[in-house]
Structure 1
């Protein structure tokens, strides 16, 4: 034992010597290099012009953090910036700034990750850096838990929702992803401006009293850039910045926009309980209060209190932000009185009306004034504001731009003929059909195109047998005489066709004087043609109403931005009979149709029982060209038609059939309205089975048909434009002949 003890007495000094040598080698290899700059806090002290800011760093408890390793960008306000801040806020010196304010200033100046100015304009996308596409960075500041009084008057402890779409928290594979809704700071860099084709006016729009420089940070600028520290980069700035409000908080704090804010709060905000946030709060504070999440309806373009932008990828808030264009109280009050409550009581307005109103003033992007025409609001409309005259307030906020306006967006929804139904409770069935994917809303609500809308009320529709089953969610139709009963798709399709007869493009106000004029006009849209209807001194006729021997009466009207709505007592009904019967009636009413009809009814392509002409079908568009008696006589003289309509000779009967077919234009209805010009297919085939064509010219209030030899048949206005199922029947002064 003694020998072993002596041995250890000898070996211990040697081990100590070796350990000392190893530590020197370790420190030399892994120790802090002499060439490194000091950490951020020490660098600020060395530079000497951040004395006020370093005091705030200590008050905020960030001295230790900024004196250690890390990876930060610090927008550090210099002492000159603080002198200005003291003067503006009536503060004598930095000692008068409390700890809470100090924490706000420091955290909002602190950006995650270290960036030089040439990197701050680059967007850290999920697929890599995108050059010159960023103008914002996430800061270390977030609001956290706070109290809020809801529209119900209840005071709650809340956190703001950190995602759009009503989500309480984002999840990945079902596991909550907690982020603190950190606020962003906005800067204006010449590289970003150049890439976006912006200019100084875009900056001065928000900061009219500041000078646009190479790199502005909010209302100030970077005086000295890229001061390197061990744990990040310092950017010396000329302005002290407190954390900016969110759009939600700013709107709440400005009484000039209280009506718009109340609409948001009363219709789209809920406060669901969050067990996750409650546990976090209780663990953090030791208190036992419940925590709720202030959540906006997912049908809005964005949640005004969400600081995270879309969060489709982690850093997309660097690349874009929201914009709210909020009308002031005066503009809102006029709009409520003149538009919203023209037929509704305010308290009875459906929520979807407020939803459309709010979305009309929301843009899921940062709206730069010089690029105003490139943006669309939440209703996919261009922004209809003059930024020089219609804007009274504008602010850069933590989650986007706020633009206060003295007018309401002239939205399609609220200023078009569609509005006559949309904002009148007596027309809810029409609104339901327009909005169910039919596309009719998009047609008639376009204020850049002029329309006339014929609109039946709910009571008119119900009297005609139409209803909507809200339990089975389907349209239903039972004709007043009980002869026809349809449900679901069949009933909806019937209504769709009827309502399409009620939509009329009138670019030149063709129906403005409907009470004292008459004529024929095409319904539908310029891309998908409807049928023709007639009007005559406050009465409307479609093919079906003519067959039934009645008319649609105009009950009243309402002028809108893009045309006139006429309220009607029934539908302009479509016809369910074949066009041959319409020609038959014309022949009894007008002798000039008789010769042609004699050949038609005796031909081998006509079915006398129902008037069907072979090759034609109900629901398909046609134009029937009917030569008058003199033209038919000429065709007989020229040998194009046999002398007798009742001939039994097969070859002659074929001539009659071909003659009739060549006078029927397929898939197009033509009138003298300059809407149909060019070559159009006929029902006839030539001897080789190929399609044949007739040229139509509908210019100058006239209508001409020409065959392939150049022979022209002119329509006779007084006897033309006769309605049939999706068709017009015209009397002409000549016949057409196919030359092969």
Structure 2
């Protein structure tokens, strides 16, 4: 209580002291310093060359605001600039400029916060100033509420002031944010730091001189005029507020087709209570207000003036970029690409329009000289030649606009992926390509050549595959048993089937299927299984088991390869590879029967299921099976049980050490985790199923170039005995036999591991 009383007595005493002072003393201590510069309005008025500007400030109702305290930067057009402006706009003098236009000029010339010229290039980040990293500033101008005709009805609308980010919890409209427009300037320090040049300015303003101190198409004539409430920069051009990307598209008839397609498919007008309340309070009118909302799948909203708003000022150093095709080029694209298989645009899936938008935008600034190093929102190169493909370039309030005479040659619309993507007969394949499998990114890569074997929805459904849209899950019904697999396993089944139909063909290896051959699916990072072709029919291991092949119904060529339309699926085998070895070994005249009989009588093999110990369904293997002659030689050399004098095998020896010889021999001829063929894709040391006496892995060297394949054992020898390494070459006519993610080769020699 004493402390509080003491405080009150102090305040009372201080006030009493003030009351006893003379008015002159009070004014001297608390009055406005004599050396303080006049406010912005008075400064402009006193200089004498801003008569038109001060008249418009008065007309716009900003005289009082700019005559007292504040913190502004004013890009102030001088009277000479207004003389040009009046001539261009048809005004005889300043008195003919209406109050609305006056307000636009004044508010767009007013930048929040005071910046010296040498600060304009610096970015006000959340962590502090970043030198030479800004080229824009937020102005006092905003559009506010606009009445439009929506679906034949006059509707009060307001633009989104945030990007509509799906799943982030960020609202597309924030109450209290007026969506202020930005003004762009071209300052020498920023240009130097970003390695830009006069080219980057003159691309937008070809008839203007780049000075290193340009504000839009004007120049700062005199900088850093200090005022009590900010800083004035005298400029040589009058600037009306620039439209944003959305507004420019809406107003420019050259791009009306692109605008109309995007507006119809990617824009909604959503009633907003907060915006409605603000409108009622501001105007006294009772209309409801709708926010113009762009689709949440897009990287940005073209009507949002605030850039990303990850931090308050990120619009100072970032803006959006759009490349928009003119009506003629976009119409040609619609006719030849989008509607090749669809009857009309309204039948296209929404994701097509989302991707089409993404193909033509960059969620950041693309300066003319930096196009070659820029990526669009699909993470593709921006594929426009700035010398031949750009009709016009515009600096707008929230980004750069490039009008083009062509459509972005997007991977999605010109690759083998397009065959499914833009055809309603292939929605199941497209859905799986797009659902995070990575297949879309693979086969739409325009820089890699592929052959795609593509089954239609009718084919897949006929074989038991389907997708339940209501439950958002895949389904597989076994055509033979009628058993239904759950979502995960059924999706995995189709993934594996479709992956069998994706083949890297850098040299068009499958453009002619009239002969025969074998080729690996997938890519080098995630190798797939091998498929074969013969006389225009294709098949995988599962087709061989089922006794069927797949026929070609037709094809089309794309920029990165060929799509074959097929009447079946390249199915995988679900049986153990041992059953394929059994069929090979028991066939009439088999050249692998000796090896099979050793396997049959070993403890490794289950003759009913085909299971070989250590060999699992779904893993990659290479089986190296010595021919009958090679097995005979192995018996003669005492490597396998039998009669050495004649080479006759003993498939079922009684001695434990002989049984062990057979087991280790078989294991050493099975390569684990890799599938090797005569295509040069698998070379070097490859692990076998054999383990040494210390249970360490053993290896075989695979040598493969197109047309040849050999295997060499890796005997280390001793300090006194050099290693003797044997090589077995595959026998082409009886090798490359398909099994579950495996190949089975018949070779002309046996391999031998020695400790």
TM-score greater than 0.5 by the shorter chain: yes
- Of 625, 628, 649, the match for 2:655: 649
Give the TM-score of the pair, scaled to structure 1: 0.94
Q: Give the Cα separation in 2 of the matches to 1:483 and 1:349.
A: 34
> Where do 1:375-386 residues align within 5 Å?
375-386=374-385
Q: Which residue of structure 1 lines up, in the alignment, with residue 675 of structure 2? A: 669
Contact preservation (8 Å) 2:390, 2:404: yes
The more displaced of 71-80 and 581-590 is 581-590
Q: Deviations over 1:502-525 (max 9, x none)?
A: 1111111111112x1221111112
- Aligned residue for 2:477? 478
Q: CA deviation at 1:701?
A: 2.4
Question: How far did residue 616 of structure 1 move?
Answer: 0.6
SS of 1:607's equivalent in the other structure is coil
Given that 2:519 and 2:531 are in contact with CA atoms closer than 8 Å, whether structure 1 keeps it comes out as: yes
**Equivalent residue number for residue 107 of structure 1:** 107
- Note closer, same or farther for the CA distance 1:171–1:632 as it changes in structure 2 (3 Å cut): closer
Native 8 Å contact 1:171 1:177 kept in 2: no
2:542 aligned to which of 541, 544, 548:
544
How far apart are 1:273 and its partner, in Å?
A: 2.1
Q: 1:271 aligns with which of 261, 269, 288?
A: 269
Question: Do structure 1's residue 717 and structure 2's residue 732 form an aligned pair?
Answer: yes
| 1:572-651 equivalence runs, <5 A | 572-587=570-585, 588-643=587-642, 644-651=650-657
- Comparing 74-83 and 663-672, the one that deviates more: 74-83
CA distance in 2, matches of 1:727, 1:627: 17
Per-residue CA distance 1:314-371 (angstroms, 9 max, x = gap) = 1111120111111111111111111111111222112221111112112111111222
Question: Does residue 724 of structure 2 align to residue 729 of structure 1?
Answer: no
Name which of structure 1's ranges 522-531 and 94-103 shifts more when overlaid on structure 2. Answer: 94-103
Find the residue that maps to 1:437 and give its secondary structure.
coil
d(CA) in 2 for partners of 1:375, 1:482: 53
Aligned 1:128-527 pairs, distance under 5 A: 128-150=128-150, 152-165=151-164, 177-346=175-344, 347-482=346-481, 484-514=483-513, 516-527=514-525
Q: Is the 8 A contact 1:166 1:295 kept in 2?
A: no
Aligned equivalents of 2:234, 2:740: Cα separation in 1: 77
> Paired residue for 1:83?
83
Aligned to 2:717: none
User: Contact conserved, 1:412 with 1:447, CA < 8 A, in 2?
Assistant: yes
Q: 2:693 matched to which residue of 1?
A: 687
Identify the range of structure 1 (371-380 vs 554-563) with the bigger mean alpha-carbon deviation.
Answer: 371-380
- Inter-partner Cα distance in structure 2 for 1:258 and 1:348: 20
Distance 2:332 2:588 in 1: 56
Deviates more, 1:198-207 or 1:480-489: 480-489
State how far apart, in whole Å, the 2-side matches of 1:345 and 1:526 are: 39
Task: Work out the number of aligned pairs and report it.
Answer: 721
Instruction: Please name the residue that 2:754 is paired with.
Output: 739
Deviation track 1:53-100 (CA, whole Å, cap 9, x = no partner) reads 122111212122111111100001112222222232333322222221
Distance 1:222 1:519 in 2: 72
Secondary structure of 1:234's partner? strand
| Residues 609 and 175 (structure 1), Cα distance of their counterparts in 2 relative to 1, 3 Å cut | closer
Unaligned runs of 5+ in 2: 1-14, 643-649, 715-723
- Aligned partners of 2:544, 2:537: CA distance in 1, in Å? 12
- Once the two structures are TM-superposed, the CA of residue 20 in structure 1 deviates from its matched residue by 7.6
Q: Deviations over 1:32-51 (max 9, x none)?
A: 11111111111112222222
Residue 410 of structure 1 deviates from its aligned partner by: 1.4
1 CA distance for matches of 2:50 and 2:727? 91
User: Which residue matches 1:44?
Assistant: 44
Show CA shifts across 1:249-272 (max 9, x none). 101111110111001211122222
Which residue in 2 is equivalent to 1:11? none
Range that drifts further, 433-442 or 256-265: 433-442
SS at structure 2 position matched to 1:197: coil
Question: Partner of 1:671: helix, strand, or coil?
Answer: coil
Could you give the per-residue CA deviations for residues 133-189 of structure 1, whole angstroms, max 9, x where no partner exists?
Answer: 111111011111211123x2322121111111179xx989x9964111111001111
Q: Extract unaligned runs of 5+ from structure 1.
A: 1-14
Report the secondary structure of 1:271's partner residue.
strand
Instruction: Identify the residue that residue 704 of structure 1 maps to in structure 2.
Output: 710
Tell me which residue corresponds to 2:10.
none
CA distance in 2: counterparts of 1:730 and 1:53, whole angstroms: 88
Cα deviation for residue 737 of structure 1 reads 1.4
Q: Is the 8 A contact 1:166 1:296 kept in 2?
A: no
- Name the SS for the 1:697 alignment partner: strand
CA distance in 2, matches of 1:279, 1:50: 39
1:531 to 529, 532, 535: 529
After superposition, the C-alpha distances for 1:403-448 in whole angstroms (9 at most, x for unaligned) are: 1111111112111111111111111111111122222112111111
Measured in 2, the distance between the counterparts of 1:230 and 1:551 equals 86
Instruction: Give the Cα–Cα distance (whole angstroms) in 2 for the partners of residues 313 and 552 of structure 1.
Output: 57
Per the TM alignment, residue 22 of structure 1 is displaced from its structure 2 partner at its CA by 3.2
**Using the alignment, how far apart are the partners of 1:121 and 1:148 within structure 2?**
38
Q: Find the counterpart in structure 2 of residue 4 from structure 1.
A: none
Q: Is the 8 A contact 2:175 2:274 kept in 1?
A: no
Task: Give CA deviations for 1:170-212 in whole Å, capped at 9, x if unaligned.
Answer: 989x996411111100111111122222222222221122222
- Per-residue displacement from partner, 1:675-732 (whole Å, max 9, x unpaired)? 1111010010112211000011111421111111442211111211110110001111
Deviation track 1:94-140 (CA, whole Å, cap 9, x = no partner) reads: 22222211111111000011000111111112222222211111101
CA distance in 2 between counterparts of 1:485 and 1:101 reads 70
Q: What is residue 12 of structure 1 aligned with on the other side?
A: none
